[in-house]
Each structure stands twice: as structure tokens, then as C-alpha cells.
Chains A and B, each alone.
Chain A
Amino acid sequence: MKALLQFSQQHKHISQKGVVNVFKKSKSMTMALILCLAVVTAACGNNNSGSSTNSGNTASNGASSESGSDKKVTINFMHLWPEGVSAGQNKIVNQIITDYQNEHPNVTIKQEVLDNEQYKNKLKVLSASNQLPDVGVTWAAGFLKPYVDGNLFTPVDDLLSGELNGKFVAGTTEAYAIEGKTYALPLEFNIAPIYYNKEIFKKYNLEVPTTYEQFKQVVKTLSDNGVAPIALGNKDRWTGSLWYMYLADRIAGQETVANAIKGTAKFTDPGLQQAASEVQSLVDANAFVKGFNGLSNEEAKSEFTNGNAAMYLMGTWDLPNFTTNEDIPQSFRDSVGFFKFPTVEGGKGNADSWVGGPGVGLFVAENSKVKEEAKAFVQYFVTKWGEQSVTGAGVIPATKIDTSTLQLPQLYIDLFNELNKASSITLFADVQLPANAAETHLNMIQSLFGKAVNPEKFASEQDAAIVKGN
């Protein structure tokens, strides 16, 4: 305590002397500070006035919908193909925009690029303030519905019945239709085969399974030999949903699955419940990589591409990784094959029934000030994209293409042939279901795979969520 007292006196003493000195310096310091702040504020102010002309979502000089063709318009276009990683898509987008602007000198197209996750969040925030871009990317069915209910997307049926009539693969635009009107035009079309590593199969003398019994035997052989049979990243949940969907389709039949998702049938259907039990017996048979419920799809994919896991059920969007992607060793890419999900003995589904569907599509905002111009751009975009996306980015478009004229890797050609033979394509459950029910479905999938719920609870929880209808 004595020391403390001493200190404070000492301190006081020094500081009283110091006060005067500091004051001399202080004036300049204060001035400098104020100046700093002034500069900052001024800088902000300038930016403010500078940017206000190009801020806002629809062009300030946007023409009314029946405007003449020579009026200057800006179309805001938001998408999710950044230059860095989606180089192929990004190049096509930029090419299309440049061409379009050359053909329509009065139109300027302003892009905003975000990654998948950020894109979805921003779309939501923009919607709440009714500030959507004129043209943007959307997903089908369940994702689309709230935007349509909120009257934010405009129908594009006039385009479909006009120049684009018959250009789309049958069944693709329907995924974007609600109550008879179509609200977006699809750009992608995917199905999900089981990719497999031919080298591993050869090593253990395995044949491509065509029945589920054979498939289980393959799983057992691989597992017994210490090879992870299937790469699955079920942290993302939709990945596990694919397995359930296929089993449900093969056992209960395509219609039952589709109806259960629509709410006209129940997930408690015996066939659908059997599918859920099969999922759990696959888990018990160590069919999936270790820790699959904690792995992302990307981590799981690497288990497949590095040859640790023998099979991988995924959409055709991953084809570039198995054909053209130089980062992945040629020897691996050469050894990738695919097979159709095997049929289940006594089941109602057939091997040509696929899980898949259109991926992203383009919408035009209902309250866009340049709606007509935006629609014209979307029509142009969809057409041009269809011509270039397979060769330029490895993306299978939803518009019909003539594969015979294209130079494509064999894997693509084989899958195109399968597509043409498809008896039905069931849309991914999480895409088809409304958002809340989709969340329940995905959570239940993770719990089912993690054996935290039994097939009965798995079914009843989903039915309850679907009945709620949101």
C-alpha cells in the first residue's frame, strides 16, 4: 500500500509538469485529427454522389416496357459464375453479353457475380426490399415458389410459345412452372449416375452390378478388402438424399416417390419405408466412407478422385472432373466409368428411371423497368448458352443439342444416350419440396444415415412437414 501511495504522488507530480508540454503539441494533433475525419467524410461524400447514378437496381434511365429500340437501357444481371473458378461459364456469359450489346447498341448489361451461397442470401435480401435485378439465376420448383407467390418473377410463357418453342428438352421447363405459368428458363439439365473406378473394380474382379443384390455383393467385397465402397459427403445432406431417392424409386416406383413429395402419397408407404431401411443397412454394411456425415461433398469427391473410394453417386455436372479437368490425373480420369442405379428385385422401378432435373434457370423480375428488353436478352442468352455450354464449360444445357456434330468425351456421349432413353426423371427432392419441408427432408436424411432416427420417424416427420405446405 505504501508503494501505491508513493506511486500516485509521483505520478501526479510528473503529470502536472507535463500538462503544459502536451498542450503545445496537442493543438496540431487535434487539428490533424479533425482534418483526417474531414477527409474521410469528404471522400465518402464524393463516392456518394459519384455512385448514386449507377446505384439502384433498375436503370435510372430505364425505358418503359413499350419503349422504342433505340432508347438507352441498362439490364442488371446477377449470376453465380465467377471468372476464377467457373472460367468456362464466365467466358460464355461474357461472350454472350458482348455479342448482345454489339447487336443492340442501346443496351448495356451490368453483371454482378456472387458465389452460390452468397447469391442465394442476397437474392433473399433483395426480394424483401423488392429490389431484384432485372435478370437473375434461380433454381426450380420449391426454390422458385416463394418468389412467384410474392409476385417477384414474371412469367416467360410468351418466350416459350414464341421463338423458343420446342427448343427445350421435354420436361425441363415444367420444373419452373407454377399453376400453368412458367417463371424461368432452364440452363442446365442433369441426371445422376453412379460413377465408379474401373481399376478398383478390375483389381477385385468385380462386375458392374445391374441388380441391387449384385450391388450389395460389390459393396461387401470392397469393404472386406479395406476399400471404401462409396464416397459420400453427407454434411451437405442432399448428397445422401440422392441415395434415398434412388432406392425409393427402385423399390416403390417413380410415381409413389413423386406423389409422396407432392403430398398426395405418404412417406409412410411400405415401399418408401423399405428404402429408408435399405439406407440404414448400407450404413451397417460400411458402404460409405468413414465419417461421411461430417464430410462435405467436396471432401468426399476427393476420396473418389484419389482412388480411395470405388463409387460415387453424383450429377452430370461433375463430368468435367472425370474427363477434361487437368488438375486430376489422366490415369484416374481414364478409369472412370458409370452405371445406372441397379434395380431391386421385386421393386416397381426400372433402371432407366433417373433422379436429376434442370439445375439453374434465368428469371426476369416482375417489377423490372426494362422487362421487355430483359426478356429479349434472356431468350438470346438461353439460345446461345445452349450452343456453347457443353463444349465451352462441360455443362449439359436444357435446350436440345445435336451431339453428333460435337466433339465430346465418350463419357458425355454415353450419358447423352442414356438421357435419350430415360423413362422418367424425378426432380431432386430438396429442389422440388418447398423450402421448409426441404429442410426437414434434408435433416431427416442426415439423421437416417446417422441412425439417429428409425425409418418410421423418418417418414412421419417428412409427411408432417409436407402437410404444413411451406
Chain B
Amino acid sequence: MDKVLSNKKVIALYVLPSLLLILAVVYIPIVLTGYYGLNEWNGIGAMKWVGLDNYAALIKDHAFWSSAGHSLLLAVFSMLSLIIYLVVAMVLAAKLKGANLFRKIYLIPMLLSSVAIAQLWLKIYHPTNGIMNTLLESLGVANPPAWLAETDLVLFALFIPILWQYAGFYILIYYAALKNIPSSLEEAAKIDGASSFQIAYKIKFPLVMEVVKVTIVLAVVGSLKYFDLIYVMTDGGPNGSSEVMASYMYHKAFKAYDFGYGSAVGFFLLIICLVATWIIRKATASKDTIQYS
């Protein structure tokens, strides 16, 4: 059996095509990004080797660290919201009447492109005739805030649509994971007299734990390099108060024509992702994986 499962030719056949593609399409750009980061380059003319100057400047760059702080905050929020997603998925996966329909409806927003979502939320947050402020004013709140223009509110105002945008993605994954638990398992537990809470806690939760671990990594990495809605809705403003690492990178590389520095930001972002992933993997590592294997 081990012989079959350690057949080098088969492994190569299964893994190599994808690996080579990734190396060519993703790793060459990664390596080149690292290389551009060591140069002074506007992306157009000749490159000038400056060694670690860009990185040295980056370490002292307040604007970068503030954007990194915003990205990390987003990562923390995404991680916390995974709990809500999991609960919703558990409710949807329970044998409720109409759960099937609810599931479909709940996932609809994830089909929308960022362009549409951004427009929707711009309408919600509009300072004078937006849904939010119209509602607040009708509730008697005088002079409600201009959500996207207040430096201390804007970041949180942006987190809500971002977390909402990704809700479908994670609920879908959790839902599939929960549905992957054979129902015979659940029934057997029920016969043994387990309550539905016990079933959820003792059987379902450990089984989806592997999936949860993976989604933590996905949520953190995804948040750290998040770009879309922030770019469309505030462009990192006002005064950089909603700038995140990826938008900072974009502004430097494509707007300020400082492609060398932008690349250094991009490469640094990668390193931060790596460290974060390593920490998560360490923190969530378990000796054994699944009970019934």
C-alpha cells in the first residue's frame, strides 16, 4: 500500500504541472518584485540599483506603518467575523424548514462584483441622502456623521461592507464542510442521546476544525492584501486614514511612479503575510487530525 502511495512518478504527474505553472506565473513576479524593490525605478526609464535603501526608507515611513496597522486591524476583524459566519453556516446546515432557500439567498451578495458592492455602499453611506443617514435622521439623530469623510470613522465604515462582501465566501465553505459530515454520524449520536448542542459542539465542530484553520489563514492573508472596496470607496483617504498596504503599494507604484518603492512595499506585504501565516499555523497545529481516521 505504501508503495502505491509513494510512487514518485504519480506524484510528479499530479503535482508538477500545477507547480510549474505557479512557479512561472506567480513566483517569477514575486522574485522580480523583490528585485525591483532593490532599485530606484519609475517603471519606465532605467533602473538604478540602490540596495536596501527602499526598505530602509520603508521602516521609517509613517504612512506605510499606518497602512500596515489598518491592514492588521482588518485581519483581526475578519478573523473574529469567522465566528459569525460559522454560526450562520451551522444554522443553515441544520435541518430547518426552508434552509435550502435561505442558503441560496444568503450567498447572493458574493456574486456581485466589487464595482457593484462599492456603489451600493456609497449610496448607503452618502452624507446627506444616504440610507444610513436618512434612517438616523428619521430616528431623530441630528447631524449624523459623514461616514466616509471622518478620519476616525472611515476605517470601520469600510470594514462593514468588506466583512459583508466575504460573508458568502466563508459561509459557503463552512456550509459545505458541515454538509460533508455524514448524516449517519449525527443520527448515531442522536440515538446515543446527544442534544443538538452536544452534536454541534462535540461532533460537528471538531470535524470542521481543519476547514476552520484553513479559513483563518485565508481570512488573514486576504485581509492583509485587501484592496478593492477601499480603493473604490475612499481611495485610502481622507488623509490616509483608510489606506491599507495594498492601496499604499498601488499609490506608490502606479500613481507616484515610484515602482521601486512600491515593489518594496509589495514584497514587505508578502513577508508580513508569511509571518502571520506561520504564527497561525503554529497556534492552530494539533497532533492528530480527525477522530475516525
Which residues of A are interface residues toward B (Cβ below 8 A)? 1-8, 10-11, 120-121, 124, 127-128, 146-147, 149-152, 234-237, 289-295, 299, 303, 308, 434-436, 438-439, 443, 446-447, 450, 452-453, 470
Which residue of chain A has the shortest Cβ distance to B231 in the bound complex? A117
How far apart sit A333 and B237, CA to CA, in the bound complex (Å)? 32
Q: Is the CB of B128 within 8 A of A308?
A: yes
Nearest CB of chain B from residue A280's CB, rounded to whole Å: 14
How large, as a class, is the contact surface on chain B? 35 or more
Q: Assess A3 versus B191: contact at CB under 8 Å? Given A149-B44, A446-B238, A470-B257.
A: yes
Q: Is the CB of A290 within 8 A of B127?
A: yes
| Residues of chain B from 188 to 205 with CB closer than 8 A to chain A in the complex | 188-189, 191-192
Which residues of B are interface residues toward A (Cβ below 8 A)? 42-46, 122, 125-128, 146-151, 154, 182, 184-185, 188-189, 191-192, 234-235, 237-240, 251, 254-259, 291-292
Q: Is the CB of B43 within 8 A of A124?
A: yes
Q: Assess A452 versus B151: contact at CB under 8 Å? Given A4-B291, A436-B257.
A: yes
Q: Assess A435 versus B238: contact at CB under 8 Å? Given A8-B292, A127-B44.
A: no
Q: Is the CB of A294 within 8 A of B148?
A: yes
Which residue of chain A has the shortest Cβ distance to B126 in the bound complex? A299
Q: Is the CB of B255 within 8 A of A3?
A: no
Q: Assess A4 versus B185: contact at CB under 8 Å? Given A290-B146, A294-B127, A294-B148.
A: yes
Name the B residues within 8 Å of A10 (CB-CB). 184
Q: Is the CB of B256 within 8 A of A291?
A: no
Q: Is the CB of B191 within 8 A of A150?
A: no
Interface residue from A146, A289, A303 paired with B44 (Cβ < 8 Å): A146
Interface residue from B149, B151, B182 paired with A292 (Cβ < 8 Å): B149
Q: Is the CB of A4 within 8 A of B146?
A: no
Q: Is the CB of B238 within 8 A of A294?
A: yes
How far apart sit A111 and B182, CA to CA, in the bound complex (Å)? 57
How far apart sit A127 and B240, CA to CA, in the bound complex (Å)? 29
How far apart sit A376 and B257, CA to CA, in the bound complex (Å)? 31
How far apart sit A447 and B237, CA to CA, in the bound complex (Å)? 9
How far apart sit A2 and B292, CA to CA, in the bound complex (Å)? 11
Q: Is the CB of B149 within 8 A of A3?
A: no
Interface residue from A236, A291, A446 paired with B148 (Cβ < 8 Å): A291
Q: Is the CB of B256 within 8 A of A295?
A: no
Q: Is the CB of A439 within 8 A of B239?
A: no
Q: Is the CB of A443 within 8 A of B255?
A: no
Q: Is the CB of A150 within 8 A of B44?
A: yes
Which residue of chain B has the shortest Cβ distance to A2 in the bound complex? B192
What 16 new A-B contacts, CB under 8 Å, besides A6-B188, A295-B149?
Answer: A5-B292, A7-B185, A11-B184, A121-B254, A146-B257, A147-B44, A150-B45, A291-B149, A294-B127, A294-B150, A436-B257, A443-B239, A446-B238, A447-B239, A450-B149, A450-B151
